[in-house]
Structure 1
Amino acid sequence: MTQQIPDSLPPIAAAIVVDDGRVLMVRRRVKEGSLSWQFPAGEVEAGESAEQAAVRETQEEVGVTVKASKVLGERIHPVTGRTMIYVACEMVDGRAHVVDAEEIAEVAWIEHRQLTEYVPYSLFQPVQEYLDVTLTR
């Protein structure tokens, strides 16, 4: 069931970080419904773009520097009811680890064949298509 979220809340930018045939995922300390493993993500702050928010949140949550390459798409998330903007990002520097221990419990680099183990529900179609291409090169 979708929660009703006021439209006044800022959108959430999610960073889809692919490196060396794997995608970066985080396990949140607090589940959002069935959502446990997710992409690094957070609210777009006043004055920043979704791309800037995805880069910032990745640094704050897992300590890696990434560069936004393109927006993959936008939707109202079917579980949280929040506007989500998905941003493809490239690794620049760092080693992923838990930085924000209040929010993040664990970090993992996931191969294409492991996606359904970590994300047992269907991904947003543009994200799935992007991962299908970039993780199987």
Structure 2
Amino acid sequence: MTQQNTDERPGIAAAVVVDGGRVLMVRRRVSEGQLSWQFPAGEIEPGETGEDAAVRETREETGLTVRATKPLGARVHPKTGRSMSYTACEVVGGTAYVADAEELDELAWVAHGEIGEYVPYGLFGPVQEHLDAVLRA
């Protein structure tokens, strides 16, 4: 029988939600280091895929119903050390609001040219490439 490392935390799934030429960003009540504004995200639950978790977390945090359209990549986050997966998503219903007021302080729909104001340390390369492609019309 193999022993599972109990110190290993579940991976985090982030949803890169684009709608109306803007990307959805949320600000956490408690920052993780420099991370204040980020994509809707949360831990991947047992039996869940990263895509499923990104869709679920978006609904729980913002009230939006989204559909995963494609995986954008994975990495160990350089600021938090957490295993991260990123999924492009599209809105299929609802209006974004702070649905989880214990976790989130506010949310914003951010234009391509404003991303650096919200995330001054830069985005994960494949996420930036995706946003460059879909937000620069």
Query: Fold-level match, TM-score > 0.5?
Result: yes
Q: Supply the distance in 1 between the matched residues of 2:123 and 2:89 (Cα, whole angstroms).
A: 17
Segments of 5+ residues of structure 1 without an aligned counterpart are 1-5
| Residue 9 of structure 1: how far off its partner (Å) | 1.0
Count of paired positions = 132
Residue 58 (str. 1) matches residue 89 (str. 2): no
Q: TM-score scaled to structure 1, two decimals?
A: 0.94
| Residue 21 of structure 1: how far off its partner (Å) | 0.5
Q: TM-score scaled to structure 2, two decimals?
A: 0.94
SS in 1 for 2:128: helix
SS in 2 for 1:58: helix
Segments of 5+ residues of structure 2 without an aligned counterpart are 1-5
Residue 24 (str. 1) matches residue 24 (str. 2): yes
Counting aligned pairs with the same residue, the percent is 65
Paired residue type of 2:72: L
Structure 1 segments, 4+ long, off by >4 Å, are: none
Task: Give the RMSD, CA atoms, in angstroms.
Answer: 1.0
Q: How does 1:17-96 map to 2 (within 5 A)?
A: 17-96=17-96
Q: Supply the distance in 1 between the matched residues of 2:101 and 2:46 (Cα, whole angstroms).
A: 24
Residue 112 (str. 1) matches residue 94 (str. 2): no
Greater C-alpha radius of gyration: 2
